[in-house]
Every structure is written in structure tokens, then in C-alpha cells.
Structure 1
């Protein structure tokens, strides 16, 4: 039986860690991108995974770090069933156009949320297209939907996620004629540490959000899948405007 590998970025904690656990439970072997040096829970998961999970040091905003992660994958397999671009940061949530905007911070957010995902998809597209599933999952956000935008701030996050959506469409246009698949998902309002502290207002736990994401993945990989085109799908399975 052929081993099926998946890669999850931002797997130190939160939704990424829950996705890694969920993929293991579904029979996948997992490369887990580890940004923090003290990813204790991820390291414990690796220790108990019987070799099925490999924590990979990874800063998706850094080209050298990504290159080393790609080498770690290539040393193990030439096929990757699923890439989940989950790693992301928020940036300033308060400043409007009438305030002093931190453009250096915005640049950092774009390098993670938008270019980081593209670095991974670009670097792993060969192994992805050699696999059976051929699936790239970009974890976007309702904040990246221009059609439903209500905010007057969150510049870096909203703009970086809108750019991620365009990136997803461009990749879809390239690989779909050869069976490649792209999913663009809003994970819901999750109780995570993206704001630097636990967001207790979130309606979903990381495990609940990851479970819904994995359900969408299973639906997309079902041979009977009848969807057309590409869409931004929310945590309830509904389509959001681009």
C-alpha cells in the first residue's frame, strides 16, 4: 500500500496542529511545518506518531527556510497528496487610512500570508502533480472577500488574503486541466492565538475548525465530486463572494 503524504504549514498549534492530528487519524503521513522553536505539543505528537509525522522547521516567509523544508520532503518522497497552506499572521487590526499605517509590518504579513503560500505551492507542485489527489488547500478568510467586505481597517490581513484568493485562481487555471485541485477555505472564527493571546470569542475550537476543513477535503477528493470552478467556501460550506 502506497504511503500518502500531506504537508501542513503553521502546524505548531491551533488549526494547523489540529489538521496534522486529523490527517494522521485519517491514515496520512504528515510533514508538519514548525515555526516556533518550542513547539512542544507538535514534538510530542511526532514522538507518538510511530514515524508517521515529521516536524519540519519552517518559516514560509524565508526562501532559505522553505528550500530546506523542500529538501526534507524530497529526502522522503517524490509524491505529495495534499498541501495545506495554513500558516498566517494578522498584523494591525485597528489602523485606518486616516491613521499612521505600519508598512513594514504589512510587508511581513504579505510575505507570510500570500507569498509564503505561493513559495510552498511553487516548490511542491511537482510532487503534488505526481500524486493521486493533486490537492492544494489554501486557508483564506472571509476577510479576503471583497464582495462582502465591511471593515475599514485590517489592511494587511484583508489584502493579503484577497491576494491569496487570486493566487488560488491562477494555480487552479494552470493545474485543473491535468486533474490538479485547489480548495480555498475560510476556517471560521476560531479560538486561536493569532492575536498574540487566546481569542476566547471564537465560536470554534481548533479541532472543530480542522474537522470541517478535513470534511471539505474529503468531499473534494470524492470521485463523485460534481463541483465546478473555484470558490471561497466558509466554515458552513457556503460560498462567499470573491
Structure 2
């Protein structure tokens, strides 16, 4: 995703209007999986809202984050992050802690989607399924645990897991895609468990379906998808920046519609 001159101009306008640009005066968000697609679009949307953004990067060969960094400077912090590696996750958390004493929003966005065609009657790639669990389910849990002390010091205290309608047990009509659907269903359960535990500290947990986003989730750009990454990101940010009165974990799509668990 390349940035248009209009988008760059909008970012410059926000930067110019920040006054002294003090990190202490800015809200903060930590987003994983930011090199391209939805993650990159979320970075841009939060920058537009005046947030200081900590962006996890796993694919350094993609230049967009670095190009954006040149435009916005210290408002964007790029972190090397592999959510499947506990040491990488902790190093990223340590780096954030050196910059800010609090975190307002955590968005666990990093995910993979492989082996879509595995069939119980034919062949299942259990290694691919295990890798999806490692990234899509355990990755968010690692990141959440690593940064929780800062999140508890934040003002907003929003914990966001980018899930999927594919993780809905109630509405499932699929007959395959075992790794992705099961890993997202497990992520939804993780979201409920976290809400049950962290509610007492004022944390609100969201599981959000971003829509069928045009992205590289399948290994190459998916032209059959129906939702632009920028539209999904803007919708997600809009949902997160408005008050939610639901008492408990929230499973919604990027437009704010409630989904079945």
C-alpha cells in the first residue's frame, strides 16, 4: 500500500498541529503486523488521529513503514517483532517501555492464513495448522502479557484482537480451513478469558472482524476481497474511539455490528 500525496498531506497537517509533540501528551497505540495490508492502514489511521504509534514489523523488505516514518518522525516507532518468538516479543515490549510509561490501546493484528484447502477426507497439513495457532492465537497472548503493565497504566485501556467471522462457532458453515478457523475461534475464547480477568482493572477487550480485506493474507494480494484495507482500518478506529456500554467482551465487525461468538 503506497501513500498518496493527499494522505501524506493529511499526516503533515496532524504533525504540524501537535504543538510541542510531547509523547506524554499523546495517546499511544501498539499494533502488530504493520508492514502491509490492514496493519499498515491501522498505523496511518491512528497517526491521523494524533496517536503515538508503536508498529510491529516482521517483513523489513516492505518499505512502506520506513517511508511513513520519514514523514511523521517520532510519532511513529517501528519495532522488529516476531509474535511467535518470546524473546522478540519481550524486546519489543522493553523498547516501548523505554519510550512511554503507559499504553492506551493494544491491537493484536499479526496473523497468517495458509493451507486453505486441507480436507478431512484427503490431506491435512498439521504443521501449517500448528503454525497458524502459534501466530494467530499464541502470538496475541504473548504480546498481551508482555505489554500488560503499560496497558494497565493507560487511559483508554483497550485490548483489541483482530479476529474473524471465521472464528464464530455459532455461525460456522465451513467444511475445511481448519487451521485458520480454529485458531480464530481460540482467539475469541482468549478474548473472553482476558475480559473476565482484566475487567476489574478497567480493561475493555474487543474481538474485531475486519471484513474480507484486500490484503496479502493468503501469500499474495487478494483481488477477490471486497473491503479496502483503509476502509476497514478507519472503521475499526471509529469503533474504538467511541464509548461502548456493553458489559463484557465485544465481538463486532469493522462497521460496529455485533457478531455471534
Q: Distance in 2 between matches of 1:233 and 1:99?
A: 34
Q: Is the 8 A contact 2:204 2:249 kept in 1?
A: no
Q: Displacement of 1:2 after TM fit?
A: 2.1
Matched, 1:241 2:260: yes
Q: Distance in 2 between matches of 1:188 and 1:177?
A: 31
Matched, 1:95 2:118: yes
Q: Distance in 2 between matches of 1:51 and 1:235?
A: 28
Q: Displacement of 1:235 after TM fit?
A: 3.1
Q: Is the 8 A contact 2:196 2:248 kept in 1?
A: no
Q: Secondary structure at the match of 1:20?
A: helix
Equivalent residue in structure 2 for 1:161, among 170, 181, 184: 184
Q: Displacement of 1:24 after TM fit?
A: 0.6
Describe how 1:165-176 pairs up with structure 2 within 5 A. Answer: 165-176=188-199
Q: Displacement of 1:229 after TM fit?
A: 1.9
Q: Displacement of 1:114 after TM fit?
A: 0.3
Q: Displacement of 1:80 after TM fit?
A: 0.6
1:15 counterpart residue number? 38
Q: Distance in 2 between matches of 1:236 and 1:3?
A: 26
Q: Is the 8 A contact 2:239 2:254 kept in 1?
A: no
Cα displacement string for residues 156-197 of structure 1 (whole angstroms, at most 9, x for unaligned residues): 000000000000001101111221111110000010011111
Q: Secondary structure at the match of 1:38?
A: coil
Describe how 1:132-143 pairs up with structure 2 within 5 A. Answer: 132-143=155-166
Q: Distance in 2 between matches of 1:71 and 1:129?
A: 16
1:211 counterpart residue number? 234
Q: Displacement of 1:7 after TM fit?
A: 0.5
Q: Secondary structure at the match of 2:64?
A: helix
TM score, norm. by length of structure 2: 0.89
1:185 counterpart residue number? 208
Equivalent residue in structure 2 for 1:120, among 129, 143, 157: 143
2:92 counterpart residue number? 69
Matched, 1:231 2:219: no
Q: Displacement of 1:48 after TM fit?
A: 1.1
Cα displacement string for residues 132-171 of structure 1 (whole angstroms, at most 9, x for unaligned residues): 1111110000000000001111100000000000000011
Q: Distance in 1 between matches of 2:101 and 2:190?
A: 24
Q: Secondary structure at the match of 1:195?
A: coil
Q: Displacement of 1:227 after TM fit?
A: 2.0
Q: Distance in 1 between matches of 2:83 and 2:163?
A: 16
Residue ranges of structure 2 left out of the alignment (5+ in a row) = 1-23
Residue ranges of structure 1 left out of the alignment (5+ in a row) = none
2:81 counterpart residue number? 58
